[in-house]
Chains A and B, each alone.
Chain A
Amino acid sequence: QKEVEQDPGPLSVPEGAIVSLNCTYSNSAFQYFMWYRQYSRKGPELLMYTYSSGNKEDGRFTAQVDKSSKYISLFIRDSQPSDSATYLCAMSAVGRGSTLGRLYFGRGTQLTVWP
């Protein structure tokens, strides 16, 4: 079993839809949770960063972490064609037992928002 599981999709939605992207994980030591966005033929870029449980909102994007269920989500409101990309979740542990801050990535979900 991989440390981080993510449905690869593809996911195709109309412009204006609410998009929900999810990851599950198995390591209870993970404390830092991130979402990266990767456009075609580009490097991943950090989109959202969350520590421990709870929600974080940034414009149209909301990241949620439920540590009790080992489940994280990214919601995109009023989705736009420019949101078409691959979204990767990532997480890490720190301190004793961690692997020196290494991020564990999901395989990514490919999202297409059509006009």
Chain B
Amino acid sequence: NAGVTQTPKFRVLKTGQSMTLLCAQDMNHEYMYWYRQDPGMGLRLIHYSVGEGTTAKGEVPDGYNVSRLKKQNFLLGLESAAPSQTSVYFCASSTGEGYGYTFGSGTRLTVV
């Protein structure tokens, strides 16, 4: 029972480097989300998708891009990493409106 799988689990980047975080779900969920979690700030929505081929901005989209080419995958890209993007990133998926989310175990990203 995999649920939502995030890779990698840990990563250290230098300022200006790029990387892609991968989220994969095996529950056939339509909706997928990327959040970042910082101490004292709670969960903040970066981008989300309501179906294959669709994406939308959340609360804090600047510096991030996303793609949903396949229903089961949702990719989060950092084009030019900044220290302010040091955070724990969570992916989540859901069946749709009114349903709870299933979260992945997170990616701890440090930008130095």
Interface code B29-41, partner A: CB below 8 Å = 1, 0 otherwise? 0010100000011
CB pair B42 A101 closer than 8 Å: no
CB pair B103 A43 closer than 8 Å: yes
CB pair B98 A44 closer than 8 Å: no
CB pair A103 B97 closer than 8 Å: no
Q: Tell me the interface secondary structure of chain A in the complex.
A: loop
Instruction: Tell whether B85 is near chain A: CB-to-CB under 8 Å.
Output: no
Residues of A within 8 A of B104 (CB): 43
From A11-19, A53-61, A69-77, A92-100, give the one contacting chain B: A92-100
Per the CB 8 Å criterion, the residue count for chain B at the interface is 25
Instruction: Tell whether B78 is near chain A: CB-to-CB under 8 Å.
Output: no
Docked complex Cα distance between A98 and B43 (Å): 19
Interface code B70-112, partner A: CB below 8 Å = 1, 0 otherwise? 0000000000000000000010001011111111111000000
CB distance from B57 to the nearest CB of A (A): 11
Most chain B C-beta atoms within 10 Å of own C-beta, residue among A51, A88, A107: A107
CB distance from A10 to the nearest CB of B (A): 12
Selected contact of B48 from candidates A32, A43, A102, CB within 8 Å: A102
Residues of B within 8 A of A31 (CB): 98
Residues of B within 8 A of A100 (CB): 31, 48, 50, 56, 97
29 A-B residue pairings within 8 Å (CB atoms): A8-B40, A34-B100, A36-B103, A43-B4, A43-B90, A43-B103, A43-B104, A44-B90, A44-B101, A44-B103, A45-B103, A49-B100, A51-B98, A88-B42, A88-B43, A90-B100, A90-B101, A92-B97, A92-B98, A94-B98, A100-B48, A100-B97, A101-B31, A101-B99, A102-B58, A106-B42, A107-B40, A107-B42, A108-B42
